[in-house]
Amino acid sequence: MVGEDREIVPETIEEVPLASEITESKPEDETEPLMNVTIELHAQDMDRRKLGWAGIIPAISPDRLRMQIYPTIDPNEIYMKASLKGDVILVSRPQPDGSFKPYLFHLVKLHEAS
């Protein structure tokens, strides 16, 4: 009996899984804001903000990463540029060894070229 008007019946207790039956949760993607980074553009598609864009952030990795453009940025501002500076949110996926590997970034703000 729990409280005056509540009761936990044995059937309910039997339905609760044992700690050994609960599988470990899968790690989620990590995000990291990066300010004023150089981005080398390697793929551009004026028709889509979330697909068709890719770039390299040399300070992070030599690998080409998928790029998504925030709605506050007009793709015309960056179309046909070889590189730019901007603020991004880097998204990394968990690897089997426990490390995280970047696979995507969101371009959230443009900076004037220096």
What pLDDT, in 10s, does the model give residues 71-91? 999 999 999 999 999 999 999
Q: What is the pLDDT of residues 3-20, one digit of tens each?
A: 567 777 777 777 777 776
pLDDT at 77 (0 to 100): 92
Yes or no: is domain 26-111 CATH 1.10.540?
Answer: no
Domain definitions of the chain by residue range: 26-111
d(CA 58, CA 62): 6
d(CA 69, CA 103): 15
d(CA 89, CA 39): 12
C-alpha to C-alpha distances, 68 to 40, 49, 72, 114, nearest whole angstrom: 14, 6, 12, 23
Tokens 């925030």 — which residue?
Answer: 70
- The reported pTM is 0.73
